[in-house]
Structure 1
Amino acid sequence: MSVQPKEFIYVDEIELNSILAQLDNGLPTVIKDVQEALSGNTEITSSEIGKNGKLDVVVAKAGTNKKDKSESHSIEQQMSQQAIETVYSDYAVNIIKKRLDEERQLKVTSKQAVGAYVLLQSKFEILNFSRMNRLMNNSALADMLTEQEGLDHEELDSQIEGLRQISKLTDLYSTITKGVDLISINNALVYAESKNFRMNASQRQVLSNGNRKITILGIIESVVSEEDMDVDFQVDDNTGLSFLSDLESGINMYLIHLLGDKILKKDDRLVKPIAIYFE
């Protein structure tokens, strides 16, 4: 029976290695599996967790003469390095899933307590406001509106004003979600660091147009309350500096809530993803 490969689109290597380090024999198991998978092609000569939290793996071409300094050999080693890093991450995700499932720590519904590991599969929508903001502020877009045929002066002014208002909104939302893609799934909102995706923003946006369900391996970071979606700007003499931190968090949640219940509502979970893929 054939196995359908997973299409990994996101991996948080720092979180991945942190969890592996806490699992009994987790890291050696992954390295052993990767060596077996690449048997006859490459071998892992050393590995350690670097200062940045990522796994630094040194690989060598099997049967290679160490004196061979040719350009082709250098390219082969670079290709082997890239391949093994990708294979390592994919194997690591499978090991973590297996171990957490064996220990009954992996839940398949979002209604869990803070700190719970979850494996969620759902229809989804990806929001990248930084990309949207760049589009709205592109002068070519306004130029195209003014060049439309059949629009009278009033209609054109209305469209230009609409574009201006949307641009202001994307300015605001790109600020509060800087460096992050929001992924809306059933009863949860996923905050995914944009740098950890294996595809660019344009490719990610196309994914939302499909009918596939996305799979999220992640950690419940917060449960949204009614108070989270409200913001109070009142300041008095007893207000401490902690007010600023609370205010920033409150504004962020309030603005996300304004996008609609489809994106965020009371009792939804905020999820930090470890890996995101399609099956």
Structure 2
Amino acid sequence: MEDHNLHDEAEAEKKLREYIYVDTDLMNSLLAQFDEGLSTLTTRMNEKTSILTQVATKGGRKSAKISGGVPGIANGSGSAEDSHSMADESSTHNRHQYSENIVYGDYGVEILEGYLKKQFVPVENAEPGDLVLYKDSFSLYDFDSLEAGTNPEIIDPVLRLSTDNVSEEKLDGLKKQLRVLQARTRNASNAKMQIDDMKKKIQKAEQKITEDKSSQENFRSVYAMVNFFSKSMPNSVIVSTEQTVVFAQKSLFRLSPSQLQMLQKNPRTLYIMGIVENKSDNTNWKHQTLTNSQLAPRDIGAIASYLSSIALTNFGISQKEDSLRIRPISMYF
């Protein structure tokens, strides 16, 4: 009993993790390669999910008698107790299963980390095929959300809502006022002051319109880049660190799209466990192939990869020429 209490105290003192991503299929695949990997996880699950079972099986039964007949139904009397009970049991089962899946992933990551402890390679020394576990500051890119947020059809009307926005029509109106003012006040003593004031307004309006056009062009450039990522890497979220680019499946995140946006400019460091699948190619691939009229068939499949490398670099996502490309197993704070 004393050992059990000590274990509970150790669990209570344990630093809590906030898991935001777990690839259970990849985790299970790696655990299965250790003789006792999956059995250890199953044992831990059986120990830790008993409370879920207890909570899930608690509850009551409600019933309501129905009588009087319903058109189209031969027997119009009965009880709603059975259907309510079945729906309640189904809902309870779904909640229980969801909770078990979360717990399974959490404990599986910890067990896998224990098995791989001696196999992890420092990021600065890692090569394709190596396993890594590291922490770093990060930037997150959800291209589906970015595509919607930078679409010119959506963003242009929003930009025009600015209180200091100046339209071409307003600028034309100011110029017309200037011409009228110049014609009417040609001989007036205060004409120069009024004309100079109007010219300043026109100059300020022209400057604002130029800035707005530049801003719109910037958004269009960003949208073109984001649209490329969205189409070439569908259902993906990219996490960028100083030395790595992490390619994650959006469906495996435990956060909604709006919650993912909260991770932008996050001051915390993110723990990432994964497999190094490749390194960014810093060779002059464009000179070697795109300018060559005799494009070899073996190079065709690399075109998309090359374009992605250009986009990742231009967008500032790939921070090093030879940054590691990571397939994540888990990410947590």
Question: With structure 2 as the length reference, what TM-score do the two structures score?
Answer: 0.69
C-alpha distance in structure 2 between counterparts of 1:207 and 1:41, whole Å: 30
Unaligned runs of 5+ in 2: 1-9, 59-81, 169-205
SS in 2 for 1:115: coil
Match of residue 37 from structure 1:
48
Corresponding residue of 2:110? 94
Q: Matched residues in 2 for 1:35 and 1:125: separation?
A: 37
- Partners of 2:220 and 2:116 lie apart in 1 by 49
Counterpart among 14, 21, 33 of residue 10 in structure 1: 21
Equivalences for residues 254-265 of structure 1 within 5 A: 254-260=310-316, 263-265=318-320
155, 161, 164: which one aligns with 1:150: 164
2-side partners of 1:24 and 1:258: how far apart? 45
User: Which deviations, in whole Å up to 9, do the C-alpha atoms of 1:79-113 show, x marking residues without a partner?
Assistant: 21111111011111011000111xx1023434312
**How big is the shift at 1:148?**
2.6
Say whether 1:25 aligns with 2:36.
Answer: yes
Aligned length: 254
CA deviation string 1:236-262 (max 9, x = no partner): 34x3322210222111112212223x6
Q: Is 1:72 aligned to residue 88 of structure 2?
A: yes
**Within 5 Å, which residues of 2 pair with 1:242-253?**
242-253=298-309
For residue 205 of structure 1, the aligned residue among 235, 255, 261 is: 261
Q: Confirm or deny: 8 A CA contact 1:110 1:188 kept in the other structure.
A: no
Moved over 6 A (4+): none
Displacement of 1:61 in angstroms is 5.2
Structure-1 residue corresponding to 2:145 = 131
| 1:147 CA displacement | 3.3
- 3-state SS of paired residue (1:207): coil
Give the corresponding residue for 2:247: 191
Question: How many angstroms apart in 1 are the aligned matches of 2:19 and 2:93?
Answer: 24
The CA deviation string for residues 170-203 of structure 1, in whole angstroms up to 9 with x for no partner, is: 2223223322111111311111111110112221
Q: Give 5+ residue unaligned stretches, structure 1.
A: 44-59
Determine whether 1:115 maps to 2:171. Answer: no
TM-score normalised by length of structure 1: 0.81
Query: In 2 relative to 1, CA 167–119 (structure 1 residues): closer, same or farther, beyond 3 Å?
Result: same
Please give the per-residue CA displacement for 1:204-235, whole angstroms capped at 9, x wherever unaligned.
12112221000001011112342177564124
The alignment status of 1:236 with 2:271, answered yes or no, reads no
* Greater mean alpha carbon deviation, residues 22-31 or residues 143-152: 143-152
> Greater helix percent: which structure?
2
Question: What is the CA-CA distance between 1:140 and the residue it aligns to?
Answer: 4.1
Distance 1:255 1:37 in 2: 45
Is 2:272–2:328's contact at 8 Å kept on the other side of the alignment?
yes
In the aligned structure 2, how far is the partner of 1:18 from the partner of 1:194? Answer: 20
Larger radius of gyration: 2
Greater per-residue strand proportion: 1
**The residue matched to 1:42 in structure 2 has which SS?**
helix
Identical aligned residues as a percent: 24
